[in-house]
C-alpha cells in the first residue's frame, strides 16, 4: 500500500513542519483555512489555542474553534474593544427598541380605553394630552370615533 501524502494543515504549514496523523489542529484548520488559523494564532497564540482545545470535551471542539475564529475576526475588525463593542452596540439597540415597544403598548392601552369610552383618571388624561400634544384630546378622540361609527 502506498502512503497517501497528507496536505499540511494551516497550523503545521505556519510552523513549517510536517503534518502527521496526531496533529490536533488538522481537523479544525485544514490548509484552506489558513486565514482563520492566522487570525486565531495572532490573537491567542499556539499554546493557548491548544490549551483551550484540550480543556473542552472532544465533541465541543468544533464549537470551541468556531468561537475562537469569530472572536479573532471581531478583534481584527475592531482592534480596541473586539466583540465587546459589537455586543454593547446591539444591547443598546435592544434597550431602545424595548423602551419604544413599551411606549407603543401604553399608547395602545390609552386608545383602547378611549374606544371603550372608559373614564380616565386625571393623571391618565394628562399623560394622554402630553403624549398627543393636544389640549382637548378626549373631545378630539370622541369626534374621531363618532365619525368612524357613521
Query: The whole model's pTM is what?
Result: 0.59
Residue finishing a domain among 61, 77, 93 = 77
107-132 tens-digit pLDDT: 888 877 776 655 666 676 667 666 66
The pLDDT of residue 149 is above 80: no
Residue finishing a domain among 58, 77, 96 = 77
51-70 tens-digit pLDDT: 999 999 989 999 999 999 99
Is 32 in the same domain as 70? yes
Give the CA distances from residue 97 to residues 102, 106, 121, in Å, rounded to whole numbers and listed in that order: 9, 14, 28
- The arithmetic mean of pLDDT across residues 38-48, rounded, is 94
Q: Which three cell numbers stand for residue 60?
A: 465541543
Highest-scoring range by mean pLDDT, 10-24, 28-42, 131-145: 28-42
Q: Which residues contact 131 (CB under 8 A, 6 or more apart)?
A: 107, 110
Is 106 in the same domain as 69? no
128 neighbors 110 (Cβ within 8 angstroms): yes
Is 73 in the same domain as 88? no
Residue finishing a domain among 24, 43, 77 = 77
Residue with cell 373631545: 139
Residues 9, 11, 12, CA angle at the centre, nearest 5°?
70
CA–CA separation, 131 and 109 (whole Å): 13
- The arithmetic mean of pLDDT across residues 6-26, rounded, is 87
24 neighbors 52 (Cβ within 8 angstroms): no
Residue 2 included in any domain: no
How sure is the predictor about 21, in pLDDT bands with cuts at 50, 70 and 90?
confident
Is 15 in the same domain as 73? yes
Range(s) of the domain holding residue 64: 10-77
Is 73 in the same domain as 89? no
Q: What does the pLDDT read at residue 48?
A: 95
Residue 1 included in any domain: no
Amino acid at each position: 500500500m502506498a502512503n497517501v501524502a497528507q496536505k499540511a494543515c494551516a497550523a503545521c504549514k505556519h510552523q513549517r513542519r510536517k503534518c502527521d496523523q496526531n496533529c490536533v489542529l488538522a481537523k479544525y484548520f485544514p490548509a484552506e483555512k489558513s486565514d482563520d488559523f492566522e487570525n486565531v494564532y495572532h490573537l491567542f497564540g499556539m499554546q493557548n489555542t491548544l490549551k483551550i482545545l484540550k480543556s473542552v470535551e472532544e465533541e465541543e471542539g468544533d464549537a470551541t474553534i468556531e468561537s475562537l475564529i469569530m472572536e479573532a475576526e471581531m478583534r481584527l475588525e475592531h482592534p480596541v474593544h473586539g466583540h465587546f463593542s459589537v455586543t454593547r452596540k446591539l444591547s443598546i439597540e435592544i434597550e431602545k427598541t424595548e423602551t419604544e415597544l413599551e411606549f407603543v403598548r401604553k399608547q395602545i392601552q390609552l386608545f383602547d380605553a378611549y374606544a371603550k369610552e372608559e373614564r380616565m383618571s386625571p393623571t391618565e388624561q394628562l399623560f394622554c394630552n402630553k403624549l398627543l400634544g393636544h389640549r382637548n384630546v378626549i373631545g378630539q378622540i370622541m369626534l374621531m370615533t363618532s365619525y368612524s361609527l357613521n
